[in-house]
Amino acid sequence: MKRYLVLEDGTVFEGTAFGAKAEKFGEVVFTTGMTGYQEAITDQSYAKQILVFTNPLIGNYGVNVEDNESIDPQISGVVCQELARVPSNWRMGDSLDHFLAEKGIPGIAGVDTRKLTKILRNEGSLKGCLVSELDKEADLAAIADHDYSGFLAPAVSTTKPYPNPGTKRNVVLIDYGVKHSILRELSARGCNTVVLPYTATAEDVLSLHPDGVMLSNGPGDPETMTEAAKMVAEVEKHVPIFGICMGHQILARANGAKTFKMKFGHRGFNHPVKDLETGEIAFTSQNHGYAIDPASLDPEKITVTHQEINDGVIEGIQLKKYPAFSVQFHPDAAPGPLDAVSLFDKFMKLIDEGKEKKQNA
């Protein structure tokens, strides 16, 4: 069965359909990851995006329950050069084709992903759609009319608080589209975590008497997260904060910085990031289309701690007045290298120091 990928610039790619029998719209982006297609597809930071895999073959080891980063992924579609015909792995519980069909996510195989990626690198991320029957004029009109709202937290955040029990430190995690791998890292350190929806206020957070607050990853334009920034501006005065991805951008905006939309973003599991204090280089897992504007940073409030080697994008900040820091990449990886996983230990240290100060006060 044929399927078409139509881009807003009029480019059309013809391929073979797999996954769900659905027509979807989204921002077309690419990832350079060599593996981890399941984790990428279930990462809620890809909400309303059509994801192009530059690795030629995906689906070869199927999917399994353990590697899901969310239960109900909001990705709009999947594009690849080749879908494995006979997936096989001892951990496999289902095929990628069947998994996508169950989740209502359409896919297209047989696409020249090298050519497509070059278009996206030159033109920047483009809007597009996946359709079963091509009507180019109507498809382009529909792409132009479709709502690509930058405020996506309501589509991916939990609606009610829930626990991720532990026995040591009390952590509140604000869910902007959290990856399960973040919860796993907190659990590995014995954290008693309560997950709150994106609508949580400072009063909601502080009423739980947390030892620390985690700001999760998530999709959309950070400029739309005004209420979240207000919450963070108050909470940072009381407890340590660690932000990842969207959480990183929210922490920056809560302290007067601005963000901008990148041409085609960072998506993949091999991005080199330099720790500006130690000079060490970490290879990191990334998925973001927005970044902090360096010209907007107040040096009296914020120190830049990490920077992307390839293009100089700000990848980490720390507040000077409060025990709060954030990174644009994923130290939890899933998939990708765990070079920067010690940042969770840094957060634990800040929590323990804060608890000690309170006890000695």
Q: How many CB atoms lie within 10 A of CB 195?
A: 23
218: annotated binding-site residue?
Answer: yes
Q: Does 245 participate in catalysis according to the annotation?
A: yes
Tens-digit pLDDT string for the chain (361 aa): 999 999 999 999 999 999 999 999 999 999 999 899 999 999 999 999 999 999 999 999 999 999 999 999 999 999 999 999 999 999 999 999 999 999 999 999 999 999 999 999 999 999 999 999 999 999 999 999 998 889 999 999 999 999 999 989 999 999 999 999 999 999 999 999 999 999 999 999 999 999 999 999 999 999 999 999 999 999 999 999 999 999 999 999 999 999 999 999 999 999 999 999 999 999 999 999 999 999 999 999 999 999 999 999 999 999 999 999 999 999 999 999 999 999 999 999 999 998 888 777 6
Annotation-wise, does 246 bind a ligand?
yes
Distance CA 343, CA 277 (A): 14
- Both structure tokens of 157: 């955040």
Name the fold adopted by 153-360: Rossmann fold (3.40.50)
The Cα–Cα gap between 257 and 151 comes to 19
249 labelled ligand-binding:
yes
Name the active-site residue from 97, 245, 271, 306. Answer: 245
Q: Which two tokens stand for residue 265?
A: 């973003």
Is 289 annotated to bind a ligand? Reply is yes
Two tokens, residue 292: 């902090």
Q: Which alpha helices (DSSP H) does 163-212 contain, by range? A: 180-188, 202-206
Give the single-character DSSP code of 104: T
Return the domain boundaries, the chain.
2-145, 153-360
Q: DSSP letters along 2-46, please?
A: EEEEEETTS-EEEEEEEE-S--EEEEEEEE--SS-HHHHHT-GGG
Active site residue 332: yes
- Three-state DSSP class for 315? strand
| pTM listed for this prediction | 0.96
- DSSP codes joined into one string, 242-284: EEETHHHHHHHHHTT--EEEEEEEEEEEEEEEEETTT--EEEE
- Tell me if 18 sits within 8 A of 135, measured CB to CB: no
| Predicted local distance difference test score (pLDDT) of residue 361 | 67
Number of helices followed by number of strands (H, E) in the chain? 10, 19
Angle between helices 246-254 and 226-235 (to 10 degrees): 70
Contact assessment for residue 154 and residue 134, using Cβ atoms and an 8 Å cutoff? no
Q: Of 216, 224, 226, 220, which is closest to residue 194 (Cα–Cα)? A: 216
CB contact set of 166 (below 8 Å; sequence gap of 6+): 186, 187, 189, 190, 191, 192, 193
CA angle 34, 65, 2 (to 5 degrees): 60
Answer whether 346's CB lies under 8 Å from 304's CB. Answer: no
- Read out DSSP for 124-151? -SEEEEEESS--HHHHHHHHHHS---S-
Report, at the CATH architecture level, how domain 2-145 is classified. Answer: 3-Layer(bba) Sandwich (3.50)
